[in-house]
Amino acid sequence: MSIKKQNSHYLMTDASNPTIRLNGEDYDFFCGCDYHNLQEDKSLRQAAQEILFEYPFKIGPSHYGFGKNEIYDELAKKGAEFFKKEALLIFPSGYMGSTILFRALSEKYDRIFVDVDSHYSMKDALILSGKPYVTFNHCDPKDLLDKITQNLSPNERPMIATDGVFPVSGEIAPIPEYLEIIQQFPDGIICIDDAHATGVLGKNGWGTFEHFELDDSRLYYCGTMSKALGSHGGIIPCSKEFAEKTKNSAYIMKGSTEIPIPTVAASIAAMKILKESPEKIKNLQENAQYFKKELKELGFNIDITPSAMATFTLPSEEDVEQLYQHLKKNHILPLYAPSKSYTSVPETGAIKFTITSNHSKEQFDRVLKIIKKWLNQKE
Ligand SMILES: Cc1ncc(COP(=O)(O)O)c(C=O)c1O
């Protein structure tokens, strides 16, 4: 089988963990998005199981259907408390977040300026918004300003849209620079998809805005419970007013079935864990920064940021593939991302290490030693 197809063909019998048994063999595991290994956490699984003694698997169709259940209200309340916001919108998947936001905000913007490497979910949201859009170069505030200046008509209001953290590269979008730009345009807003920053960035895991210590009424974001929270479902932490408006204006909110009740219970348990154990978030950020710093010292072009991906490329796709095979032979499993296989993958492909709060320094040091030896032999 071609290596390009292999990533999705592992027979996984475990949830993702710092070590994992795959196809009957043990590996140090650096894939996926389970940044705190909550997918297999006992309290999440127990919460999901126990709730079924009390409630059915799910209740009703969409928000707009009939009735309402208190367990959804509890998640909304606990989620709002977690993010220190007035409200939390919950919907079936993180993928829908940008579409919901773009529709809910549709009266506030006329033209979208979007990072060219934004996630597929944002690309779909652009089309579904029905608004004109212009792409700007990846993480490039200067090009963004040029594009706004060249394309925004006098009476139009701009919306900047981007991933907060890019899913493969792990780059954090330069939001403070974008905010400075949007402030030059009356009524401009910024909308970010924070799927990979939820539960990861900022002291409390609130995401990219917390990481940059930004709080501004022009900033909107969506997140997911399917990555760092180990559960499932999309979220928008927001004001009560915005939540009410969105429930009534975004078609997905009105017209899709809610997440199943065991998922709601697991999500509540996950938020409790992260709220009560902020050291998990700290560990994750420290792990990420330690590993990236060491990779940089080996000569890789990598920013030392607290996002949960340590991703690098090599001069050719062949080199990337060779190193990946070498790591795999040594029972180390990062993600091999061939060129153009996903949004934000570099031209020559990439090796992406997903960092979790549970990886040990010994695991990183073993990887670094193997990479260093491989690089030396290559010279
Ligand atoms: C940036 C980004 N946004 C949204 C999503 C979709 O989130 P979910 O898998 O929770 O639907 C992903 C996906 O995996 C993603 O990488």
3-30+278-378 with 42-276: one CATH topology?
no
Q: Domain coordinates of the chain in residue numbers?
A: 3-30+278-378, 42-276
Q: CB of 269 closer than 6 A to ligand 1?
A: no
Nearest CA owner, ligand 1 atom 4: 95
- The pick from 162, 192, 208, 227 for probing ligand 1's pocket by mutation, whose C-beta has the most ligand atoms within 8 angstroms, reads 227
**Alpha helices, H only, the chain:** 3-6, 42-54, 70-83, 97-104, 120-129, 141-151, 175-182, 208-211, 240-249, 251-255, 261-276, 278-297, 317-329, 361-378
Atom of ligand 1 nearest to the CA of 224: 10
pLDDT-derived band at 2 (thresholds 50, 70, 90) equals very low
Q: What is the pLDDT of residues 45-84, one digit of tens each?
A: 999 999 999 988 887 766 666 667 789 999 999 999 999 9
Average pLDDT over residues 221-232: 98
Q: CB of 167 closer than 6 A to ligand 1?
A: yes
> Are the C-beta atoms of residues 70 and 215 closer than 8 Å to each other?
no
- Asked if residue 11 has pLDDT above 70, the reply is no
Atom of ligand 1 nearest to the CA of 226: 10
CATH number for domain 42-276, candidates 3.40.640.10, 3.30.360.10, 3.90.780.10, 3.30.43.10: 3.40.640.10
d(CA 137, CA 80): 34
- Asked if residue 9 has pLDDT above 60, the reply is no
Q: Considering only CA atoms, which of 307, 265, 302 is closest in space to residue 59? A: 265
- Asked if residue 7 has pLDDT above 60, the reply is no
- Asked if residue 143 has pLDDT above 90, the reply is yes
Q: What is the pLDDT of residues 176-203, one digit of tens each?
A: 999 999 999 989 999 999 999 999 999 9
Q: What is the pLDDT of residues 150-185, one digit of tens each?
A: 999 999 999 999 999 999 999 999 999 999 999 999
CATH number of 3-30+278-378: 3.90.1150.10
CA atoms within 13 A on the CB side of 191: 27
- Asked if residue 136 has pLDDT above 50, the reply is yes
pLDDT-derived band at 122 (thresholds 50, 70, 90) equals very high
Nearest CA owner, ligand 1 atom 3: 195
Q: CB of 193 closer than 6 A to ligand 1?
A: yes
Cα of 188 vs centre of ligand 1, distance in Å, is 25
